[in-house]
Amino acid sequence: MFGFGRVPLAISARCYHARVHSLAKDNCRFVCDKDPDGLVVRTLDNQEFLTDNGVQTLSHACANLLHDLGKLEQGGVRSLRLSPQACDTVDVARTFRDVLDGREDAEAGSRHLQQIYPNIPLANGFLHGAPGFSFVMPEQAAE
């Protein structure tokens, strides 16, 4: 189960990083390393919507399922994917472990994730049938 990171949504035959830098996909010189967190895609209203990273289209919001760990475990989930982002991934893993082991509650863990990875919205809407970019607190979730 995808527990943390920008959610992969699509793969393209075209590399948007190469195109933005006027390079051919087959001779891109790995230009994507200039944007380790990808290129933000904005709506016509200038809202951050998606992220392009090479040939991948990702969510702009970062998945955070810390508040949902109990329900996921009850549902049989035994492992989480913590996708590396442009932040301290070891600290992210430690935060998830601390919440799973009861050393920290989900709210404190989420605040810590926001400090580790500032200026990126955290989301879990896709898990709750809400818009994927939204964050649904457990008390708001439909049973």
Across the range 42-53, mean pLDDT stands at: 93
Across residues 3-27, what is the average pLDDT? 89
Do 110 and 67 form a contact (C-beta atoms < 8 A)?
Answer: yes
Q: Judge whether residue 140 has pLDDT over 70.
A: no
In the predicted model, what is the mean pLDDT of residues 9-21? Answer: 87
Per-residue pLDDT averaged across 37-49, rounded?
93
Tokens 């998945």 -> residue: 63
- What φ, ψ does residue 23 adopt, rounded to 5°? -120, 155
Mean pLDDT of 1-5: 96
Share above pLDDT 70 across residues of the chain, in percent, rounded to a whole number = 97
User: For the chain, which residues make up each domain, given as ranges?
Assistant: 8-59, 61-140
Rounded to an integer, the average pLDDT of 27-56 is 89
And the tokens for 90? 């070891």
Across the range 30-52, mean pLDDT stands at 90
Short-list 91, 65, 93, 72, CA closest to 3? 65
